[in-house]
Structure formats: C-alpha cells, structure tokens
C-alpha cells in the first residue's frame, strides 16, 4: 500500500513577531497579507509608495498603523520583521536601512533580491555582519505539489531521479518597473522554476538556456520565451520552459494557460500541475514500484500556492528568529539561485553550455 502521510502545508510553529509590511500592491495585498490573516500572524504596520493605497489595504486587513513612507515604517520600533514587496532596484536600500535598525529581528525580501548577483552577495554579507536574518521569498518551494514531491524524493519513492521538467504556458502580468530593466523572464519568472529545481535536486553543474522575444510584450526585452536545460552531478537532466506567449488571446479564443511538471525516476514517476494562473489547487499523482505496486495514487489538499504558500514563507522566518538559526529560505541559498540565473544569461549571450560550481557561492 502507498504511504499517503504527506504534509502539503507546513506546521505553524511560531506567531511571535510583529510584521511591518512594505508595499501595498497585488503581491502584498492578495498574497502576503491574506496568508497572514489566515495564519493569524500579527501585522503591526504598513507603508507604500502610495499612502492612499496603503490606507485602503490597512482598512481591509485591520492593520493598526499606516506610515507615510517605507523608511518611517522600518524605523518604527514596533516592527520586529520587515516584509518587503518592492521593485528590485529599490529593495537593496530598504534592506540596508532595516539592517541598521536595532529593533529589526528579520527581513523578508522579494526575488530577485537585487539586479545583479554581485549586489545579492553584498546584501548576504552585510546581513551576516549585522547579525540579522535575511530571508528571500522563494515561495514556490511552499507550493503544495512541490512539497509533496520533495517528500516523495526524500524517502526514495521514485528511486534515483532520471529526468525532470517544468512546462509553463502562461502569461505573466509584467509589472511596470520591469520596462526599465535589461532582463525579463529569466529573472522574474524562470527564477521560480530554477530555484524549485535546486530545492528538489540540489545544485546543477551545467546550464544551457536559449530564448526568443515574446510577441505580446510591447517594451524592449531580450529574454521572452525561455527554455533552460540543467544537468546535475548525478546525471539527472532537468528542463524548465517559460512560454510567456502561450498563444493568441483574441476575443473568443479559448484560454488554455497552464503549468505542468513531471519527474521520472528509476522506480517511479510523479507528475502534476501548478494552480497558478488558474486559481485552483496544484495537483500531484504518482506511481511507484516500491510504494504503490505500480498503481497511480493521487494525494489531495484544499490549499493553493497563492496565497497559502506565503504562510510557510513567513512562518519559516519567524521560526528561525525564535531559534536563532538560519531560515529555510536563507539569503545564502538564494544567492546560489541568483548565480544560476546569472549563468543562464551568460549561456544565452555566449550561445553555449555553462559549467558552474554553485558551492563557491
């Protein structure tokens, strides 16, 4: 019989710290704060570039304090954790301000952490020197299907991994600030998939990426549709596709946006879907010669990537602060993901496979 004892969502072990929210856009209002409401985390204040929008979000969630600026919120001694949802070209200055505050115990930053891996390394080192916990919101690691897949892999239910694939055909909402950057899909969408492949399988030692522009994206960009292949020391081959075109969207055209994934091992196969962008729960089905006698088994859950994964993201930071240890989503680990993204861009520029050793980061 299959072992169906899975934990698609993490246990909430700590709710002890007061959160200051920086930003009032979609990702903060619809994901972070909704997750914190569900988990009964204490949100003590909010600030945004738009005080009016911050006031609206504060009223919606019953947040007691609204500051005029993010800087004022960060300086408020009532905030234990600074939760930043801000453009990456503005984020490093806010992180550095938070690192200087005696009352700040931890910081949750968005991905990409900065616009370059060199800046990310600098922030990692500055957080270490300040004795502060800096965590990065790689929330796909808390998608329920990815967590259950990781549990299957860790207990060897699929045997040795042979091949893995994440296959996205979906249209992101590119935020306006991205128009000023020279990087698009790899930094802002592929980063989810490349990071979760590291979470599942460890660090690859080769990366090959190719790209073409996306006909729908009107502003100038280099990386639109992206296909990346990773090779791991074990021999595992993994592919990540971000098809941000995914077909026309004319009136009457039937939308088939989706994200699917598949992992094949020597003793079994697991495959499933990611609930974004359709707003449903992610899925997983697997068959194993070791656990299921070759039959297909489908674990189920009621929670979704958005917003429920953000509970785990904030919980792991609170738990790390309470224990005085590195968070599960550490800045040091995120620097390795950024180094992988940087190598993928180098592969595109050089039109070749890039060998890498992420342990150097």
184 within 8 A of 178, measured Cβ to Cβ: yes
Comparing CA positions, the residue from 152, 140, 158, 109 lying closest to residue 317 is 109
Residue 187's pLDDT is 96
Per DSSP, 255 falls in state P
CATH topology of domain 18-139+311-326: Rossmann fold (3.40.50)
Q: Tens digits of per-residue pLDDT, 283-341? A: 999 999 999 999 999 999 999 999 999 999 999 999 999 999 999 999 999 999 999 99
What is the rounded distance in angstroms from the CA atom of residue 38 to the CA atom of residue 338? 31
Is the predicted pLDDT of residue 2 greater than 80, yes or no? no
Average pLDDT of every residue of the chain: 97
Cα 337 to chain centroid distance, Å, stands at: 11
The model carries a pTM of 0.97
Which two tokens mark 175?
A: 């935020």
Q: Which long-range contacts (CB under 8 A, 24 or more apart) does 215-223 make?
A: 215/245, 216/171, 216/244, 216/245, 216/249, 217/174, 217/184, 217/244, 219/178, 219/179, 221/184, 221/185, 222/182, 222/183, 222/184, 222/348, 223/183, 223/184, 223/185, 223/186, 223/345, 223/348
Residue 327's pLDDT is 98
**Pairing, β 81-84 against β 65-66:** unpaired
Residues in the chain: 361
SS3 string, 328-343, reads: CCEHHHHHHHHHHHHH
CATH topology of domain 144-304+338-360: Dihydrodipicolinate Reductase; domain 2 (3.30.360)
Peptide bond into 307 cis (omega under 30): yes
Q: Residues 282, 287, 293, 297: what is their CA dihedral angle, to the nearest 10 degrees?
A: 20
Strand partners of residue 167: 241, 260
Is the predicted pLDDT of residue 1 greater than 70, yes or no? no
Q: In 68-220, at which residue ranges do the beta strands (DSSP E only) sit? A: 81-84, 106-109, 133-136, 161-169, 206-212
Strand partners of residue 258: 169
Percentage above 90 pLDDT, the chain: 96
Residue 278's pLDDT is 83
Residue 279's pLDDT is 87
Comparing CA positions, the residue from 289, 235, 296 lying closest to residue 270 is 296
Is the predicted pLDDT of residue 4 greater than 70, yes or no? no
Q: Tens digits of per-residue pLDDT, 131-149? A: 999 999 999 999 999 999 9
Structural domain boundaries in the chain = 18-139+311-326, 144-304+338-360
Comparing CA positions, the residue from 119, 135, 145, 101 lying closest to residue 260 is 145
Q: Tens digits of per-residue pLDDT, 195-219? A: 999 999 999 999 999 999 999 999 9
CA angle 276, 281, 287 (to 5 degrees): 110
Task: Kindly provide the b/e burial profile for residues 150-189, where b requires at least 16 CB atoms within 10 angstroms of the residue's own CB.
Answer: ebbbeeebbbebeebbbbbbbbbebeeebeebebbbbbbb
SS3 of the chain: helix, strand, coil, percent, to 5: 35, 20, 40
């Amino acid at each position: 019989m299959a072992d169906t004892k899975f934990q698609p969502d993490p246990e909430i072990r700590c709710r002890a710290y007061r959160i200051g929210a920086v930003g009032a856009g979609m990702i903060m209002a619809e994901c972070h704060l909704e997750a914190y409401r569900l988990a009964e985390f204490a949100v003590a204040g909010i600030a945004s570039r738009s005080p009016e929008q911050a006031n609206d979000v504060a009223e919606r969630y019953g947040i007691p304090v609204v500051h005029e600026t993010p800087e004022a919120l960060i300086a408020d001694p009532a905030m234990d954790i600074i939760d930043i949802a801000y453009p990456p070209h503005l984020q490093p200055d806010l992180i550095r301000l938070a690192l200087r505050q005696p009352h700040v115990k931890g910081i949750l930053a968005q991905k990409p952490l900065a616009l370059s891996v060199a800046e990310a390394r600098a922030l990692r080192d500055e957080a270490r020197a300040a004795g502060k916990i800096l965590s990065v919101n790689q929330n796909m690691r808390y998608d329920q299907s990815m967590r259950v897949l990781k549990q299957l892999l860790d207990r060897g239910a699929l045997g040795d991994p042979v091949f893995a694939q994440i296959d996205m055909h979906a249209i992101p909402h590119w935020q306006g600030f991205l128009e000023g950057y020279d990087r698009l899909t790899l930094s802002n969408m592929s980063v989810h998939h490349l990071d979760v492949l590291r979470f599942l399988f460890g660090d690859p030692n080769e990366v090959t990426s190719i790209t073409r522009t996306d006909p729908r994206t009107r502003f100038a960009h280099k990386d639109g549709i992206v296909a990346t292949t990773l090779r791991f020391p074990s021999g595992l081959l993994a592919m990540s596709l971000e098809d941000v075109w995914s077909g026309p969207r004319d009136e009457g055209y039937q939308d088939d946006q989706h994200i699917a994934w598949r992992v094949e091992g020597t003793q079994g196969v697991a495959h499933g879907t990611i609930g974004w962008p359709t707003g449903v729960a992610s899925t997983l089905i697997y068959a194993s010669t070791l656990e299921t006698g070759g039959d297909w088994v489908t674990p189920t859950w009621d929670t979704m990537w958005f917003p429920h994964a953000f509970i785990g993201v904030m919980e792991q930071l609170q738990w790390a602060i309470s224990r005085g240890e590195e968070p599960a989503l550490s800045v040091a680990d995120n620097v390795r993901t950024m180094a992988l993204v940087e190598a993928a861009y180098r592969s595109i520029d050089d039109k070749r496979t890039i060998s890498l050793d992420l342990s150097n980061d």
